[in-house]
């Protein structure tokens, strides 16, 4: 997974996270996302915010402050030929193609 910092000057003041397989967990097991589940034919952007009580939420509707952003590139395909037929096969999900952007915490 590619990691970027929205506020690099505060590099040591970001939400803790852990990557295991296709999953990313924020905080102390507060919010876990299986990124393979969100892969689509179009690129996907997921906002992770804290709400007014400090709980982590996905999206900005109840979120008050940005914590992180996850960008998942569009699903890739390969063509395979079997006899006279060409089939389109999705390339297996690879979390290393995703980008996590961390925002500084207050």
Mean pLDDT of the region 71-100 = 95
Structural domain count, the chain: 1
H or E segment to which residue 7 belongs: none
Structure-model confidence comparison of residues 88 and 63, the more confident one? 88
CB half-sphere exposure, 39, CA atoms < 13 A: 20
Distances in whole angstroms, Cα of residue 65 to Cα of each of 9, 30, 95: 18, 16, 25
Q: Kindly report the pTM of this predicted structure.
A: 0.89
Range of the domain at 44: 2-102
pLDDT tens digits for range 1-46? 999 999 877 667 899 999 999 999 999 999 999 999 999 999 999 9
Confidence of residue 61 (pLDDT cuts 50, 70, 90): confident
């Amino acid at each position: 997974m590619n990691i970027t910092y929205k506020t690099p000057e505060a590099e040591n003041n970001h939400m803790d996270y852990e990557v295991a397989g296709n999953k990313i967990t924020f905080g102390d097991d507060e919010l876990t996302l299986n990124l393979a589940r969100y892969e689509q034919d179009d690129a996907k952007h997921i906002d992770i915010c804290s709400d007014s009580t400090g709980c982590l939420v996905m999206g900005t509707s109840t979120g008050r402050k940005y914590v992180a952003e996850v960008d998942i590139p569009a699903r890739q395909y390969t063509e395979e030929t079997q006899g006279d037929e060409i089939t389109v096969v999705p390339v297996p999900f690879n979390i290393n193609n995703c980008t996590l952007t961390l925002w500084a915490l207050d």
